[in-house]
Amino acid sequence: MAALKGSVLRPFAVLLFVCQIEAQAEDLYAYGEYLSGECLTCHRLDESAGQIPAIFGWPEDKFVEILAMYKHGARENAAMRNVAASLGDEEMAALARYFASQTPKESAQ
């Protein structure tokens, strides 16, 4: 079985970082959609908020600003700071784009 290692079972070994695709709106949205998965372990996509607020429907620039506050320590929550530490400018922009477009009704799905 070990022989399989490095061949068919390692698809990502043959994956290339794509440089030819256009950094278009759909790509940014698609990237935001992928990244949003990790937010939704803690943030619900509906109105019920509790101690972890809902995060859809923000203006994009404001959303990025808030994420930067966690990243740079202006907001203190340790869990959310750890999340923000892993986000670069592209990630923040993509997340802002994706969550700006979400509404609670759509998200019931």
Partner 1 sequence: MTNRTMTRRDFGSKVITVSAAAAAASLAAPAVLGAAKARVVVIGGGAGGGTVARYVAKGSDDIAVTLINDSPTYSTCFFSNLYLGGFRSFESISHSYDTLAADYGIEVVIDRAAGLDGNGRTVTLANGDTLNYDKAVVAPGIDFKFDAIEGYGPDAVETMPHAWQAGAQAKNLKRQLLDMEDGGTFVICPPPNPFRCPPGPYERISMVAHYFKSYKPHSKIVVLDAKNKFSKQKLFEDGWARHFPDMIEWLPLDITGGVKAVDVASNTIITDDEKFQASVANVVPPQKAGQIAQDAGLADESGWCPIVPETLASLQVPNVHLVGDAIIPGDMPKSGFSANSQAKVCAQAILAELASKQAFKPRFRNTCWSLITTDDSIKVGANYEATEEKIAKIEGFVSQADESDEVRAQTAAEARAWYDAITADIFG
Contacting positions for partner 1 (CB under 8 A) = 1, 4-5, 8-12, 14-23, 27-28, 30-31, 34-35, 37-38, 40-46, 48-52, 60-61, 64, 77-79, 81-83, 85-86, 89-94, 96-97, 109
Q: Quick one: which of 27, 38, 46, 61 contacts ligand HEC (CB under 6 A)?
A: 38
DSSP 15: -
Number of residues that bind ligand HEC (CB under 6 A): 18
SS3 track for 34-61: HHHHHHCCCCCCCCCCCCCCCCCCCCHH
Quick count: other Cβ atoms within 10 Å of Cβ 31?
Answer: 18
Q: Residue 75: which of partner 1, ligand HEC, none does it interact with, CB under 5 to 8 A by kind?
A: ligand HEC
- Residue 67 tokens read as 């994420």
